[in-house]
Each structure stands twice: as structure tokens, then as C-alpha cells.
Amino acid sequence: MLRDSSTAAVSKKISLAGDQEKTGLGNYFIANYPPFSFWTPQCVEAVHAVLSRSPQHASPLGLYVHIPFCRKRCKFCYFRVYTDKNARDIEEYLQRVLVEVSIYSSQAAIRDRSLDFVYFGGGTPSYLSARQLRDFLGALKRFMPWEQVKEVTFECEPGTLQRQKLEVLRELGITRLSLGVENFNDTILEENGRAHRSAEIFRAYQWIQELAFPQVNIDLIAGMVGETWENWRECIRQTIALNPDSVTIYQMELPYNTEYAKTVRNGESLPLPLADWPTKRAWVDYAFDQLIAAGYEVSSGYTLVRDKKRVQFHYRDALWHGADLLGTGVASFGHIQGVHVQNFTEWDTYLQPLREGRLPLYRAYVCAPLELCLREFILQLKTGRVEFGYFLDKYGERLNLRFGEELHWLSEQGFAQFDDKQLVLTRAGLLQVDRLLPIFFLPQHRTHRYV
């Protein structure tokens, strides 16, 4: 029987990351563990060492390709993107990414392994022309064949899509298009710096449906500047009407390197209201209810799918279960046999090593076995459920005992139920899972900035 919120009180207070319910400055979403702020240039040699030897254990292998070009920079964007690069810049970048993939493919840790999944993220991968896509993706396949790939995901900005470009993507084997809709209201899209407008969403979506891509995901953001209850309800109505295979909903945050954060740091007010965290959680809660009523199932704290048996997120589930990932492109991060690694984060510092035939590695982190265990536990908890037996079998860790106090606290707060076999988040816990995850960080990792 799962324990509920009537269990005994926790012996001491456990502090939450992001206790402030007003939307303040800083990162909220947790993408990895240990935090990026612990990764250092001094550990880069460990990456070269692990690449030089055959893998110590079998694990799926993925490839991430960062395409950093955009028509505009969104005011909430904290990714490495460029809006000022000319055709020659873009061609060189693509060629250098191919060099990077070629170097990886020749390493002992990689060369005898097949890719399980590929992910094109940005920036805006769909910013590239049909010719560039055909040439670039074709060359990638020659370096690292895709015959056994289970999933190829490609992020798109609606206004960059033409039917010819989508035909090329379909022909090249893209299995999931992730369409960055974010909102259907043109005023909100414009205020937040999005390049597309609603008419482009519907035009692109019609082409996508006509070409019958195996899976289509729509991204939304709850709490964009200027969002209201009335408009959010309309966004969810229009999303359900489009009937995508999956819907991913992020909650708006204000990382330090965004245009909106700069406005706040300067003591200025944002031009339109920005919702607090309770309001954003209420909006996502509403979306979950409406999508579930329309036949969707919860897949994680952010994603709902129409059919769990058919609609898979292989890249997510593989990464959250310890897969290796080759992160290519400027500022990309990856994971190879227990070692985290990130590329240089600036244009020239990324390109120069590749011009010299070297990997552009900036910083790294060598994970201890317990850290690898906690990384998987933390990331898998984003699905809303973890099985303790998995971590005992793989790492020899009894996490239900290690985190007994934290689990009781989650239960007392109504965020989770648990027993000796599993931990299950309630809806209230799932809607703020990133806020809860730091309670499972090791003590030395709890007080540092996440990035």
C-alpha cells in the first residue's frame, strides 16, 4: 500500500530550490546532474581518455546536433543562438559539425557502435534550407549510419517551414517533428520575441499532416509575458483541435542571460504581466485535465501523448536511463561512459579547434557511481514514477532508505506517495517537479547555481 500524506512529520525542514513563488531570475528547469557549475576545463582530459578505449559497459548511443541559427532571438531564450550569421558562416558551421562527428566516429569508444537515436535541436534546425538539410544530413549518415536508429527528432519553428523543406525531412527519415508553437496569440508571440505568427502555425501543420510524419509534437509555454486565463484556455482548445501525437508544455522562467532578465536586472518593469509560479502550475494543471479528457495520457511532468504504446520518446527515456550522448555543435553537452562534457560556448572558440582537427571540448565532469545513480533517479522522477529496484539492481543503492526523510517530507506535503518499491508523484508534485528535485542532490551540490 502506498503511503499517503498522513505519515509522520519529517524530523527537520527540507528547503526547496525556488521557494519563492514569484517568478524571479534564474534557471528552474533541471536538465542534468551534477549541476553544470561543477563541470570544469580541468576534467576535459578524462573525456579524451574515455574516448580512447572501448566502452566498459553496453549502453545506447545517441547523437545531438545543435543548429544555433534563428530568425529572431526570443526575449526568454537562454540557448546559444545566432541571428546575425551570413550564408558563408552557416556553411562553415555545418562543415565543422561534420568534422566533429567524424572525429567522434573514429574513437575507440564510438566506432563499433550503432546510433540508437538522433536529435536536432536549436536554435532552429528548420532555419536551414532544403539543400543544406539534404547535404548536411546525408553527410552525417555517411559518418554515423542511421540504419538501426529508433528515432530521429527535428525541432521546427513554424515560420521557417515550406512544403519542399518538409518533403526533404520526410525523405531523409525524420520520425518526429517538434513544432515550436509556444502560443497561438499573435500579440503574445510578438511581445515575447517569437518570429512566427499563428497563420504560419496552421499553414505548416497542414503540410505536416499531408506528408504523414510518424509523430508530431507541439511545444507550448505556460506563462509567456502577457498570458491570461482566457487566452490560455483558447491555446489548449486550438492544440486539441490540431490533434498532435504529443504535447509538451514548459513553464516560463527567466534565466539570467535572457532579454527579459536584463530588463528586470535594470530595475525596469516588463511591458505586460508575468504570471507567478502558482498561476503557471494552475495553467498546466488545466491543460493536463483538458488533454486527458481528449484522450491523451501523461508521459512526464511536461508531456502528454495520445497513445503510449505508439508514441515513444526514445531519446528522453534512453538519456534518463544512462545512455551515452554525443553532443555536437556550439555549447552542446553530452555524456560518455560516466563522464559529462560540454563544448565551447562561443562561435570562434567552438570553430577554431575543429579547424585544427580537434574536438572543441570546454569543460567536463567525471561522475562517481553514486552521482550516476542520482542523475538517473532525478531525471527519471520527471516522468512521475521511479522504481527503487532499478537502482538497487544497477547501482546497489537502496534509495528509499538513503532518502527516507526526503520521501516522508514529499508525502507530508502531498507531493508524492511511496512504498518500498516505488515513488509516485501526485499531480501537485508533477507540476513542480523541477522545484522538488534538488532535495535529492548531494549536500555539496545543493547550494551552487545550477548552470
Structural domain tally of the chain? 2
Same domain, 290 and 198: yes
> How far is the CA of 91 from the CAs of 136, 139, 307, 350, 413, in angstroms?
10, 13, 39, 15, 53
Q: Cell triple for residue 423? A: 515513488
Same domain, 408 and 298: no
Same domain, 254 and 312: yes
Same domain, 231 and 305: yes
361 lies in a domain?
Answer: no
Half-sphere exposure in the Cβ direction for 382 (13 Å, CA): 23
Q: Cell triple for residue 120? A: 536536432
Q: Which of the listed residues 287, 318, 349 is the one where a domain comes to its end?
A: 318
Same domain, 267 and 295: yes
Same domain, 102 and 66: yes
Closest to 415 in 3D by CA, of 325, 327, 301, 333: 301
9 lies in a domain?
Answer: yes
Determine contact, residues 244/299, Cβ cutoff 8 Å: no
CATH number of the domain where residue 400 is located: 1.10.10.920
83 lies in a domain?
Answer: yes
Same domain, 264 and 129: yes
At 317, the amino acid letter reads D
158 lies in a domain?
Answer: yes
Determine contact, residues 233/286, Cβ cutoff 8 Å: yes
385 lies in a domain?
Answer: yes
72 lies in a domain?
Answer: yes
Same domain, 25 and 42: no
Q: Which of the listed residues 318, 337, 352 is the one where a domain comes to its end?
A: 318
344 lies in a domain?
Answer: no
Same domain, 387 and 268: no
Same domain, 290 and 399: no
Q: Which domain holds residue 415?
A: 1-34+370-451
Q: In the beta sheet, which residues pair with residue 249?
A: 220
CATH number of the domain where residue 223 is located: 3.20.20.70
Same domain, 196 and 162: yes
Separation between Cα atoms, residue 19 and residue 442, nearest integer Å? 18
Same domain, 56 and 30: no
Q: Walk along the chain (451 residues) and give the pLDDT tens digit of each residue.
A: 443 333 333 333 345 544 568 888 888 899 999 999 999 999 999 999 999 999 988 899 999 999 999 999 999 999 999 999 999 999 999 999 999 999 999 999 999 899 999 999 999 999 999 999 999 999 999 999 888 899 999 999 999 999 999 999 999 999 999 999 999 999 999 999 999 999 999 999 999 999 999 999 999 999 999 999 999 999 999 999 999 999 999 999 998 889 998 998 888 888 888 899 999 999 999 999 999 999 999 999 999 999 988 999 999 999 999 999 999 999 999 999 999 999 999 999 999 999 999 999 999 999 999 999 999 999 999 999 999 999 999 999 999 999 999 999 999 999 999 999 999 999 999 999 999 999 999 999 987 655 5
- pTM of the predicted protein model: 0.94
Separation between Cα atoms, residue 144 and residue 399, nearest integer Å? 37
362 lies in a domain?
Answer: no
Q: Which of the listed residues 318, 338, 356 is the one where a domain comes to its end?
A: 318
